[in-house]
Structure 1
Amino acid sequence: MKNKKIAVIAVAALVIVIVIIVRSIFLGGDASQDASSQKSAVQVRVSPATVESISEMLELTGSVVPQRIARLASPAEGPVTNLKVREGDRVKAGDILLSIGRREGIEAQITSYQESVKKEEENLNRTKQLVESQALPGEELDRAKAAYENARAQLINAMEAVQDYSVIAPWSGIVSKVNVRDGDYVVPRAPLVEVYDPANLIIEAAVPERYSAQLRNGLNLTVRLDAFPDSTFKATIKRIYPFLEDRMRTRTIEAEIDARIAILPGMFARLQMPLNTIDNAVVVPSQAVLVQQSGGRVVFVVDADTVSQRTVEVGIEQDNRVQVVSGIASGETIVVAGNEKLKPGAPVRVIQPASKPKDTGGGR
Structure 2
Amino acid sequence: DADMQPAEGQLTFVDNTVDTTTDTIKLKATFANRDHRLWPGQFARVNLRLATLSNATVVPSQAVQTGQDGQFVFVVKPDSTVDQRPVTVTQRVGDNVVVDKGLEPGETVVMEGQLRLEQGTRVQTGDSGGGAPAGGRGGRGRGGRGQ
Interval of TM-score (by shorter of Structure 1 and Structure 2): 0.5 to 0.7
Q: What residue is the counterpart of 2:99 in the other structure? A: 324
- 1:63 pairs with 2:23: no
Tell me which of the two structures has the higher relative contact order, counting C-alpha pairs closer than 8 angstroms and 6 or more residues apart: 1
1:300 to 67, 70, 74: 74
For 2:142 and 2:101, locate their aligned partners in 1 and report how far apart those are by CA, in whole Å.
23
Q: What residue is the counterpart of 1:314 in the other structure? A: 89
The answer on whether the counterparts of 1:207 and 1:252 sit within 8 Å (CA) in structure 2 is no
Deviations 1:303-342 (A, max 9, x none): 2321111111221221121111121211111111111221
Deviations 1:216-255 (A, max 9, x none): xxxxxxxxxxxxxxxxxxxxxxxxxx965x5xx364559x
Query: How far off is 1:64 after superposition?
Result: 3.6
Query: How far off is 1:278 after superposition?
Result: 1.4
Q: TM-score, normalised by structure 2?
A: 0.60
Query: How far off is 1:289 after superposition?
Result: 0.9
Deviations 1:75-108 (A, max 9, x none): xxxxxxxxxxxxxxxxxxxxxxxxxxxxxxxxxx
For 2:124 and 2:68, locate their aligned partners in 1 and report how far apart those are by CA, in whole Å.
27
The number of equivalent residue pairs is 112
Q: What residue is the counterpart of 2:28 in the other structure? A: 209
1:281 to 45, 56, 74: 56
* Shift in CA distance, 328/64, structure 1 to aligned 2, threshold 3 Å: same
**Which has more radius of gyration?**
1
Task: Please list every run of 5 or more consecutive structure 2 residues that lacks an aligned counterpart in the other structure.
Answer: 1-12, 128-139
Q: State the secondary structure of the residue aligned to 1:279.
A: coil
For 1:336 and 1:291, locate their aligned partners in 2 and report how far apart those are by CA, in whole Å.
13
Over 6 Å off, 4+ runs:
none
Matches within 5 A, 1:108-147: none
Deviations 1:134-190 (A, max 9, x none): xxxxxxxxxxxxxxxxxxxxxxxxxxxxxxxxxxxxxxxxxxxxxxxxxxxxxxxxx
The answer on whether the counterparts of 1:62 and 1:206 sit within 8 Å (CA) in structure 2 is yes
* Shift in CA distance, 317/211, structure 1 to aligned 2, threshold 3 Å: farther
For 1:325 and 1:63, locate their aligned partners in 2 and report how far apart those are by CA, in whole Å.
34
Matches within 5 A, 1:132-211: 203=23, 205-210=24-29
* Shift in CA distance, 355/327, structure 1 to aligned 2, threshold 3 Å: closer
User: Match for 1:61: what amino acid?
Assistant: V
For 1:333 and 1:212, locate their aligned partners in 2 and report how far apart those are by CA, in whole Å.
43
Q: What residue is the counterpart of 1:72 in the other structure? A: none
The answer on whether the counterparts of 1:302 and 1:335 sit within 8 Å (CA) in structure 2 is yes
User: Match for 1:328: what amino acid?
Assistant: L
Q: State the secondary structure of the residue aligned to 2:29.
A: helix
User: Match for 1:207: what amino acid?
Assistant: K
